[in-house]
Amino acid sequence: MRATTKLILIRHGETEDNRAQVFQGQGGRGLNARGRDQAARLAARLAGARIRLAGVYCSDLERARETAEILASTLGLQAIADPELREVHLGGWQGLSRAEVQARYPDEWAAWRRGDDIRRGGGETYAELGDRMTRALDRIAERHAGEAVGVVSHGAAIKSVIGRVLRIGAGGLRAFQVPANTGVCLVERDGERRYRLVVWNDAAHLGDALAEALAAPPA
């Protein structure tokens, strides 16, 4: 039986679009100063961890790639980009604020808020997102059987994986807060290709997550 692989799923660091609550999808910009600091904090934390990472993989979108390069540089590794680790494609929603989406796509906005798995702005469904994320993670796990690897991706992309692991449909994903920027989720894939969730949205390197959540405005 093949050994268990530990997949450390990491959301990219903060961007200015995150701060402005703009839907980035497969567009968007690189990290802002806070995002680079978040990535550096996580890199330092991982460098001191007892488990040695065998590799760092990432979405090829700028914000994820930049986060991964900061991590990989600190850990003495090379970040490997994979387009299948990208965020969900949001079509016409990309680059718009919440208010703009509500004004331009009121029916889609209402359906998304209900938890319907729609093609927002003509983009991808969560089901399609989950399919390609699972393909990518399966490939990485096969390559690193018995090892631990970092995987830098995006909020909805990581949620889609957790939904698959917990057998939760698209509607149920809205019950999960998007992981914090550089928040960590750990999933394990055993020798029989079964996944299980071990850690959800660990952001201890950023401070007191509970205090920040209580102080934050509703999403």
Q: Tell me, what's the pLDDT at 219?
A: 62
Q: Tell me, what's the pLDDT at 49?
A: 83
Beta strands in 47-125 (DSSP E): 53-58, 79-81
Whether 12 is catalytic: yes
- CA quadruple 49, 16, 200, 148: dihedral, nearest 10: -40
Pick 214 or 30 by higher pLDDT: 30
* Cα(32)–Cα(19) distance, integer angstroms: 10
Whether 182 and 13 have beta carbons less than 8 Å apart is answered as: yes
- Say which range, 5-14, 43-52, 101-110, 146-155, has the weakest mean pLDDT: 43-52
The first and second tokens of residue 51, run together, are 């488990």
Whether 14 is catalytic: no
Q: In whole angstroms, what separates CA 178 from the centre of its chain?
A: 8
Three-class secondary structure of residue 27 per DSSP: coil
- What global pTM score does this model have? 0.93
Catalytic residue among 14, 66, 87, 108: 87
Three-class secondary structure of residue 9 per DSSP: strand
Q: What is the mean pLDDT of the chain?
A: 93
Whether 196 and 4 have beta carbons less than 8 Å apart is answered as: no
| Cα angle value 214/217/218 (rounded, 5°) | 95
Residue-wise pLDDT for 95-126, tens only, equals 999 999 999 999 999 999 988 999 999 999 99
Q: Tell me, what's the pLDDT at 176?
A: 83
Segment 13-22 shows an average pLDDT of: 95
126 burial level (CB within 10 Å; 0-12, 13-18, 19+): buried
The first and second tokens of residue 93, run together, are 């929603």
- Token pair 């402005």 in the structure block, residue: 20
How many Cβ atoms sit within 10 Å of the Cβ of residue 210? 8
Partnered with residue 126 across adjacent β-strands are none
